[in-house]
Amino acid sequence: MKRLRTTAVHGGRDDLADLGVHAPPIDLSTTYPIPDQPEGGHALQHLAEGAAHAASPVYSRLHNPTVARFEQALAALEGTSAAVAFGSGMAAVTAVVQAACVVTGKPHVVAVRPLYGGTDHLLSSGLLGVRTTYATADRVADAVTPQTGLVVVETPANPNLDLLDIAAVVAQAGDVPVMVDNTFATPVLQNPAAFGATYVLHSGTKYLGGHGDVLGGVVACAEEHAGPLRQVRIITGAVLHPLGGYLMHRGLATLPLRVEAAQRTAVDLAARLDAHPGTGLVRHPSLPGADPAGLVGTQQRGPGAMLAFTTREDPAAVVRRLRLVTPAVSLGSVDTLIEHPAALTHRLVPDTAREESGVPANLLRLSVGLEDVEDLWDDLDQALSGHCEEDYIKSSSSDFREPAASH
Ligand SMILES: Cc1ncc(COP(=O)(O)O)c(C=O)c1O
Residue 105 has pLDDT above 90, yes or no: yes
Q: What percent of the chain has pLDDT over 70?
A: 95
Q: Write a three-state SS string for 177-225.
A: CEEEECCCCHHHHCCHHHHCCCEEEEECCCCCCCCCCCCCEEEEECHHH
Contact 47, 234 (CB under 8 A): yes
> What average pLDDT does the structure give for the chain?
95
Residue 230 has pLDDT above 50, yes or no: yes
In this structure, the residues whose C-beta lies within 6 A of any atom of ligand 1 are 88-90, 116, 118-119, 154, 158, 181, 183, 203, 205, 215, 217
Residue 401 has pLDDT above 50, yes or no: no
Residue 197: band (very low, low, confident or very high) from pLDDT cuts 50, 70, 90: very high
Residue 252 has pLDDT above 70, yes or no: yes
Q: Write a three-state SS string for 268-304.
A: HHHHHHHHCCCEEEEECCCCCCCCCCCCECCCECCCC
Residue 108 has pLDDT above 60, yes or no: yes
Average pLDDT over residues 384-394: 59
Reduced to 3 states (helix: H, G, I; strand: E, B; else coil), residue 306 is strand
Average pLDDT over residues 62-86: 98
Q: What is the pLDDT of residue 387?
A: 65
- Residue 407 DSSP label: -
Position in ligand 1 atom list of the atom nearest CA 91: 11
C-alpha of residue 89 to centroid of ligand 1, in Å: 5
Per-residue pLDDT of 298-311, as tens digits, reads: 999 999 999 999 99
Instruction: Give the CA dihedral 275, 355, 217, 97, nearest 10 degrees.
Output: 150
Residue 400 has pLDDT above 70, yes or no: no
Cα 236 from Cα 255, distance rounded (Å):
30
For residue 142, the Cα-to-chain-centroid distance in whole angstroms is: 28
Q: What is the pLDDT of residue 404?
A: 43
Q: Sketch out the chain's domains with CATH numbers.
A: 4-252 (3.40.640.10), 256-401 (3.90.1150.10)
Position in ligand 1 atom list of the atom nearest CA 119: 4
